[in-house]
Amino acid sequence: MVPRGILSELPKNWKADLISGFLVFLIALPLCLGIALACGYPAIAGIFTAIVGGTIATFFSNSELTIKGPAAGLIVIAIGCVTEFGFTGGKDPAIDYQAYRLALGVGVAAGIFQIFFGMFRAGILGEFFPASAVHGLLAAIGIIIMAKQFPIALGVSPEGNPLELISKIPQFVMEMNPLVGLIGLISLIIMFSYLFIKNPKIKIIPAPMMVLLVTVPLAIYFDFGQERTYSFNGQDYPLGKSFLVAVPESMFSAITFPDFSGLTTTTGWKYVLMFALIGSIESLLSAKAIDGVDPWKRKTNHDQDMLAVGVGNTIAAFIGGLPMISEIVRSKANIDNGARTRFSNAFHGLFLLFFVALLPGLINQIPLAALGAMLVFTGFRLASPQEFLHMYHVGKEQFIIFVSTVIGVLATDLLMGIAIGIFVNLILHLKNGAPATSLFKPQISVERNEQSGVTVKVKDSAIFSTWIGLKKTLDQLAAEPRITLDLSETYLVDHTTMAKLHEMEKDFKERQSTLFITGLNQHQPLSSHPEAGRKKPKI
C-alpha cells in the first residue's frame, strides 16, 4: 500500500513525473533487455526487474528520484553465477534453464540479506570501502563488459576470460559477420555521437531508443528473421533469429520460479555474498550521487533504501528477474527530464509492463548487435579515460590503488579484486606513517566548551577503515550549532576521509549547523587535488 503522504504529491506532480517516466522507459527498455542477455538470463528477466523496481520497490524507500532496475555493474556477477552453475551459452537450453533457476535462488537469498542489511541499519557499511578501490572496481567492471559485448556487437561469440577476450579483439574484427557488424558499428556511432550533441531538442529521443529506431528497420531490411546464409568477399555468413532478441508472446508464461538447491553449495553462497555486497555498494553510491543533484536537496535514508532494494530483489528473483540496484544513469536521466517524485519511477515501470504485455512482437525485432553496442558504450562510461586521469590527478598513490583493483578484478574476481585494492591501500597508509594500531580502531575524543562549542579530536590517523567510527561520532553531534574537528594529532588523513569530510561539511550547512575542520596546517597534501590525502612530515 502506498502511504497517504506520498499520494498527496501525485495530483500536483503527475504530469512532470509521467513525462519523465516515459522518457526513462525509452532508455530502460533496450538496456534492460541487453543487460539480461549479457547476464546469461532470458531477455524478459531484465523487464521483470525494472517493473518490480518501479511499481513495488520504489514505495519502500524514501528516495524520490532514483530509478530502480537492472544495472550493468552486476553483469559480471550474474554471468559468473550462471556460468559456475553450468551455463552453456545456448549450446544446451535445458542446462542453461537450470543454471538460470539456480541463479534465481541465489538472487532471492541475496535479496533477503539486503532486507536484513536495511533492518539492522547496515547501510553505513557502504562507507567502509576506500574511494579509489571502489572506482577501480567499477572501472574493471566496465572493461569486462566491453570485452564481452564487443564481439556480440560484431556477431561473434565471445569465449574466454576478460584478459583473453581483450587479446582477441583483432581476431573478433577479422571474424565479424559483416551485416551484423554493420548494425553494431552504426549503434556504436549513435551512442558515442550523443556525447557531442548539445541540442536538447535532438536529445529528447534518448540514444538507446534512437539506436532501435535506426537498427530495427535495418534488421528487417536485411531479413534477420529468416534463417539463411549470405556471401561477402568470398565467404559465407549466417543470418537468422539467433541474431535477434527472443521474448515469449505472453510475458506471464515467462515467469520462472527459482531452484534453491544451489544454496547447498559453496558456489551458491559465494554469489549470494557477491550479489548482496557489491549490489548494495553500487546502490548506495548511486543513491548518494543522486541526492547530490536533487534540485530539492532531499536526502535518502540509506537503510530504508537498502530495505527497498532487498524487497525488490527478493520479489524479482522469485518471478525470474535480474538483481536490481538504484541505477545511476537512468536516475540522472530522470532528474534531467524534470521528475519530481518517486512516481516517475512507478510510471517507467508501468510503461514497461504495458509495452511488453501488449507489443512483444516489436521486441523480437531488436538486433542483439545493437544491444551489445549499447553495453559497450555503458562499459566505456564506467572505464573511460577520464576516470583514469581523474584518479591520477587525485594522487599517484590513489592511482596505484585504483590500478591495483582494476588488475586484481580482471585477473581474479570482484571480491578478490577489491580485497587487493584494500590491501594495497593499507600498505600505502603504513608507508605514509599511519600507526598499525590505528588502521582499524579510531582514536577519537569529544570535548565540550561553552564558548568554542564541541571539539572532536582524532589521533594517529583518519583513514577509510576508521571512517565509520568518525562519521557516527559526528552524526551524533549533528544537533550542535558548531562542531570543530581537530586533526592536528593525526599523522595521516587519507583521500577517502578528505572527500567524505567535504561532503559532510555541506550536509551540516544544509542542517543549519557548522563543521570546522582544523589542524591540517602542518600536513602536506599528497597531490594538488583539493581532496588529496594529507600527511604530516616526520620531524
In 383-528, where does DSSP find H-type helix? 385-394, 396-411, 414-431, 467-476, 495-510
φ/ψ of residue 472, rounded to 5: -60, -40
- Of residues 89, 135, 45, the one with CA closest to residue 363: 45
User: Which residues have CB under 8 Å from 208's CB, separation 6+?
Assistant: 26, 27, 29, 30, 31, 191, 374
Residues 527, 532, 535, 536, CA torsion sign? positive
The answer to whether the CB of 211 falls within 8 A of the CB of 372 is no
- Cβ burial of 299 (10 Å; 0-12, 13-18, 19+) is middle
Output the CA–CA distances (angstroms, integers) from residue 468 to 128, 298, 362, 444, 496, in the order listed: 6, 22, 49, 12, 11
Task: Report pLDDT for 5.
Answer: 58
* Average confidence (pLDDT) per 10 residues, the chain, 539 residues: 61 92 96 97 97 96 95 94 96 96 98 95 82 94 96 93 93 96 98 92 91 97 95 95 94 95 97 94 89 88 94 98 94 94 96 94 96 96 95 95 96 92 96 92 90 90 95 90 94 95 89 91 94 87
Task: Report pLDDT for 201.
Answer: 83
The answer to whether the CB of 413 falls within 8 A of the CB of 267 is no
Instruction: Report how far residue 408's alpha carbon sits from residue 425's, in angstroms, rounded to the nearest whole number.
Output: 13
Task: Report pLDDT for 87.
Answer: 97
Task: Report pLDDT for 1.
Answer: 45
Neighbours of 534 (CB within 10 A): 22
The answer to whether the CB of 463 falls within 8 A of the CB of 397 is no
The three-class DSSP label of residue 76 is: helix
Instruction: Report how far residue 373's alpha carbon sits from residue 190's, in angstroms, rounded to the nearest whole number.
Output: 10
* Cell numbers for 86: 553450468
DSSP-assigned letters across all residues of 264-296: GSHHHHHHHHHHHHHHHHHHHHHHHHHHHH-TT
Instruction: Report how far residue 137's alpha carbon sits from residue 73's, in angstroms, rounded to the nearest whole number.
Output: 9
Instruction: Report how far residue 106's alpha carbon sits from residue 41's, in angstroms, rounded to the nearest whole number.
Output: 13
In the chain, ranges of CATH 3.30.750.24 domains: 436-535
The domain 436-535: what is its CATH number?
A: 3.30.750.24
- Of residues 492, 502, 498, the one with CA closest to residue 537: 492
The three-class DSSP label of residue 226 is: coil
Burial 53-74 (b: 16+ CB within 10 A, else e): bbbbbbbbbebbbbbbbbbbbb
- Of residues 365, 364, 370, the one with CA closest to residue 184: 370
DSSP code at position 207: H
Task: Report pLDDT for 236.
Answer: 96
* Cell numbers for 292: 547530490
Instruction: Report how far residue 30's alpha carbon sits from residue 193's, in angstroms, rounded to the nearest whole number.
Output: 18
- The residues with which 456 forms a beta bridge, in sequence order, are 446, 485
Task: Report pLDDT for 461.
Answer: 95
The answer to whether the CB of 123 falls within 8 A of the CB of 115 is no
- Could you give the angle at the alpha carbon of 302 between the alpha carbons of 296 and 305, nearest 5°? 90
The answer to whether the CB of 286 falls within 8 A of the CB of 131 is no
Task: Report pLDDT for 489.
Answer: 95
- Of residues 140, 88, 220, the one with CA closest to residue 405: 140
φ/ψ of residue 294, rounded to 5: -65, 120
The answer to whether the CB of 123 falls within 8 A of the CB of 302 is yes
β-pair type (443-449, 325-327)? unpaired
Query: Which helix (H) or strand (E) segment is 246 a member of?
Result: none
- Cβ burial of 443 (10 Å; 0-12, 13-18, 19+) is middle
